[in-house]
Amino acid sequence: MLRPKVPTNPTPTGIVTPPVVEPTAVVQHSPAPLPVAPAPAPARPTVQLTPGALVALIGGGTAVVLVVGAVLVSMLLAVAVTAASVAVCALVVRTLLASETKRR
């Protein structure tokens, strides 16, 4: 009941039968008529910057650069403050451990 049944494969005979290939008919269709070319789309209007728009664009770019710079500087300052506080903590712990070993 619990024994697996192993399937038995027939012994190979060495005779190989090629697969049956059915020829297919080649049918040529008449070429479809070429589509009529659509009328060219109207040319896009070019973007023209007025002096006021140019000043606004330069001012906006400057503001973006200043904000991104402030964020990056604040992140660098946060890393520097964290590193300094970890260094101070390491010195305090080292001093406490050194004084503990001298008392013994």
Tokens of 92: 């305090």
| Total number of residues shown for the chain | 104
Tokens of 61: 């770019």
Q: Tell whether the model's pLDDT for residue 96 goes beyond 70.
A: yes
21: DSSP letter: -
23: DSSP letter: -
Segment 83-87 mean pLDDT? 97
Mean pLDDT of the chain, nearest integer: 84
Percent of the chain at pLDDT above 70? Answer: 89
Q: What angle do CA 66, 69, 73 make, to 5 degrees?
A: 140
pTM score of the predicted model: 0.45
Query: From start to end of the chain, where are the E strands?
Result: none
Segment 26-43 mean pLDDT? 72
Q: What is the pLDDT of residues 46-57, one digit of tens each?
A: 778 888 989 999
Q: Tell whether the model's pLDDT for residue 39 goes beyond 70.
A: no
41: confidence class by pLDDT, cuts 50, 70, 90: low
